[in-house]
């Protein structure tokens, strides 16, 4: 077996372990009986240890060193070597004792965060948060960075991401989107959503709507499933077995539909991977930002377009004949595009969402950089919400304690949500350039051309390129906030008559 083939055989082994972990994690979230939690944790720990042992085998390091001086590799080979190196370095740079310390602290911090949030008392979480920040800094130091500590953390969730790259993106949003939202608020216009609020929306009909839309978009239910879970997600072991979930609220039909479209976007990405690259890192979906671009594309760019509402209205009327009897495309479109600053990120609309992220990003930079102390955090949070969204949390639970991420030590994760929104807009703008009939196609429910474009330019490209390179290859331009700003500006103009 030659060196490259031996590397691939070892990577296949690691990938299969990951598939098994993916399946049993999915089961844990969706089906597992309550008493099974502790033995499930043992199974997952076993899987994680088995994967870690194989990944950190020094033979992999030796193979990589040999292959890094091999100039006969094609783009896939180069990507496999680069990506395996990334994983190997990340796994070996962190000492085992430190990884265990992080895992233990994560368990502890999630408990204190949960308690702090439910009791609306930041002080319960304070010490564990301070420790989480300290561990994150230490992790960054182990991993290494050129410029800023925070860069090492950003890079974990999207390879190559740095403050130098993210700052201009958020600057663009802050300068353009914040004033737009203010203008909407000042206009005092608000669409009438009483037909939503005053009705009840039975779950079976919501399921029918979600299923119909996911099938129409092109999710293959012979290679995947739809289920329900408390926290919606897309998981499962591999492209032949992609499993997404949603949740149902009988007083709000949008949550399950747009949640389903979001997860369908993640799911079609997984199903669209290049199958000749099964078990290879180069064939995996790209970083979190690109993954989020596919979910946001279908959820927002497509799902909240007037054309989509045109196509979807008959489906709404079939699923909810009484509730929608007097509803036309305009009412539906307005309702799914309500712009309104709110305190909770996960419930935020498309326009205000990225400001929630920007606030977290700025705060993380300061916390990791040391210019913001933990004790000053809660007020700093509220001040920024007031500055950028014009609202202030009445308590900590609706403020700084709302997200689980920091208790998990996931500093550097938030920005990928906004990257997803920006990439989605940029990708759709590029796709439109090649799909002149796009709007007409969407209004007819013909999603094939757009999905095919994504298959070709995003899904099948796997992780062959770094995320920013992938976006540049697909769209002809480096990642920027411009397409998103244009998209949002034109939509708000159509909806509210406000010119950016």
Catalytic residue IDs: 263
User: Does 97 contact a second copy by CB under 8 A?
Assistant: no
User: Does 48 contact a second copy by CB under 8 A?
Assistant: no
User: Does 237 contact a second copy by CB under 8 A?
Assistant: yes
Tokens found for residue 161: 């991401």
Stretch that binds a second copy, among 149-157, 217-225, 447-455, 466-474 (CB under 8 A): 217-225
Q: Give the CA-trace dihedral at 293, 298, 299, 301, to 10 degrees.
A: 80
User: Does 230 contact a second copy by CB under 8 A?
Assistant: no
Taking the C-alpha atoms of residue 39 and residue 306, their distance in angstroms, rounded to an integer, is 49
Task: Supply φ then ψ for residue 377, to 5 degrees.
Answer: -60, -50
Q: Which member of 1, 38, 188, 194 binds a second copy (CB under 8 A)?
A: 38
Tokens found for residue 1: 């077996």
Stretch that binds a second copy, among 218-226, 251-259, 319-327, 456-464 (CB under 8 A): 218-226
Q: Which of residues 262-321 bind a second copy (CB under 8 A)?
A: 278
Taking the C-alpha atoms of residue 280 and residue 203, their distance in angstroms, rounded to an integer, is 40
Q: Would you say 232 or 267 has its CB closer to a second copy?
A: 267
Taking the C-alpha atoms of residue 78 and residue 465, their distance in angstroms, rounded to an integer, is 10
Minimum distance of a second copy from residue 92's CB (angstroms): 22
Stretch that binds a second copy, among 82-90, 219-227, 329-337, 445-453 (CB under 8 A): 219-227
Residue with tokens 């308690």: 115
The DSSP bridge partners found for residue 246 are: 228
Site string for a second copy, 432-461 (x = CB under 8 A): ------------------------------
Q: Would you say 224 or 255 has its CB closer to a second copy?
A: 224
Stretch that binds a second copy, among 42-50, 90-98, 208-216, 387-395 (CB under 8 A): 42-50
Q: Which member of 238, 280, 284, 337 binds a second copy (CB under 8 A)?
A: 238
**CB 422, CB 483: distance < 8 Å:** yes
Distances (CA, A) of 425 to 338, 469, 479, 480: 19, 16, 10, 10
User: Does 40 contact a second copy by CB under 8 A?
Assistant: yes
Minimum distance of a second copy from residue 59's CB (angstroms): 17
Stretch that binds a second copy, among 20-28, 83-91, 129-137, 488-496 (CB under 8 A): 20-28
User: Does 57 contact a second copy by CB under 8 A?
Assistant: no
**CB 424, CB 300: distance < 8 Å:** yes
Residue 283: which of 55, 21, 461, 451 has the closest Cα? Answer: 461
Q: Which member of 7, 173, 210, 224 binds a second copy (CB under 8 A)?
A: 224
Q: Would you say 224 or 415 has its CB closer to a second copy?
A: 224
**CB 380, CB 392: distance < 8 Å:** no
User: Does 36 contact a second copy by CB under 8 A?
Assistant: yes
Site string for a second copy, 124-163 (x = CB under 8 A): ----------------------------------------
User: Does 225 contact a second copy by CB under 8 A?
Assistant: yes
Q: Which member of 4, 46, 98, 195 binds a second copy (CB under 8 A)?
A: 46
| Binding residues with a second copy: total (CB under 8 A) | 33
Stretch that binds a second copy, among 46-54, 255-263, 440-448, 484-492 (CB under 8 A): 46-54
Minimum distance of a second copy from residue 33's CB (angstroms): 6
Residue 491: which of 420, 425, 423, 435 has the closest Cα? Answer: 425
Q: Which member of 240, 349, 446, 482 binds a second copy (CB under 8 A)?
A: 240
User: Does 39 contact a second copy by CB under 8 A?
Assistant: yes
User: Does 344 contact a second copy by CB under 8 A?
Assistant: no
Contact residues for a second copy, defined by CB under 8 A: 13, 16-17, 19-20, 23-24, 27, 31-36, 38-40, 42-43, 46-47, 50, 220-225, 237-238, 240-241, 278
């Amino acid at each position: 077996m030659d060196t490259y083939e031996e590397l691939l055989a070892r990577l296949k082994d690691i990938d299969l372990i990951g598939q098994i972990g993916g399946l049993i994690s999915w089961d844990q979230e969706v089906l597992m009986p309550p008493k099974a939690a502790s033995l499930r944790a043992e199974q997952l720990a076993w899987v994680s240890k088995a994967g870690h042992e194989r990944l950190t085998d020094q033979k992999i390091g030796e193979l990589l060193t040999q292959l890094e001086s091999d100039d006969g590799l094609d783009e896939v080979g180069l990507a496999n070597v680069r990506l395996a190196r990334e994983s190997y370095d990340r796994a070996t740079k962190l000492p085992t004792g430190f990884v265990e310390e992080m895992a233990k602290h994560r368990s502890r911090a999630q408990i204190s965060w949960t308690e702090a949030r439910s009791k609306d008392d930041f002080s319960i979480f304070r010490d564990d948060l301070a420790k989480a920040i300290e561990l994150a800094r230490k992790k960054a130091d182990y991993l290494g960075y050129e410029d800023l500590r925070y860069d090492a953390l950003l890079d974990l969730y999207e390879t190559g991401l740095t403050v130098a790259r993210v700052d201009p993106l958020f600057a663009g949003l802050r300068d353009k989107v914040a004033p737009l939202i203010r203008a909407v608020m000042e206009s005092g216009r608000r669409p009438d959503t009483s037909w939503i609020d005053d009705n009840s929306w039975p779950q079976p009909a919501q399921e029918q709507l979600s299923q119909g839309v996911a099938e129409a978009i092109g999710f293959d239910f012979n290679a995947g499933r739809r289920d329900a879970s408390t926290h919606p997600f897309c998981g499962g072991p591999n492209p032949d077995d992609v499993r997404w979930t949603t949740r149902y609220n009988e007083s709000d039909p949008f949550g399950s539909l747009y949640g389903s479209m979001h997860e369908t976007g993640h799911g079609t990405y997984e199903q669209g991977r290049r199958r000749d690259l099964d078990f290879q890192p180069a064939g995996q979906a790209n970083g979190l930002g690109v993954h989020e671009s596919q979910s946001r594309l279908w959820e927002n760019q497509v799902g909240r377009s007037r054309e989509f509402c045109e196509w979807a209205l008959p489906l709404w009327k079939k699923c909810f004949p009484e509730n929608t009897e007097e509803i036309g495309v305009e009412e539906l479109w307005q309702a799914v595009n309500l712009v309104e600053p709110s305190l909770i990120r996960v419930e935020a609309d498309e326009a205000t969402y990225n400001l929630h992220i920007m606030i977290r990003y700025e705060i993380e930079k300061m916390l990791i950089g040391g210019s913001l102390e933990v004790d000053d955090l809660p007020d700093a949070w509220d001040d920024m919400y007031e500055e950028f969204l014009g609202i202030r949390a009445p308590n900590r639970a609706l403020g700084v304690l709302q997200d689980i991420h920091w208790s998990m030590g996931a500093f550097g994760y938030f920005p990928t949500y906004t990257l997803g929104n920006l990439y989605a807009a940029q990708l759709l703008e590029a796709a439109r350039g090649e799909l002149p009939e796009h709007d007409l196609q969407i209004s007819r429910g013909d999603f094939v051309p757009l999905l095919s474009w994504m298959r070709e330019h995003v899904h099948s490209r796997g992780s062959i390129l770094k995320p920013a390179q992938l976006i540049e290859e697909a769209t002809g331009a480096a990642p920027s906030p411009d397409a998103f700003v244009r998209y949002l500006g034109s939509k708000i103009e159509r909806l509210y008559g406000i010119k950016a």
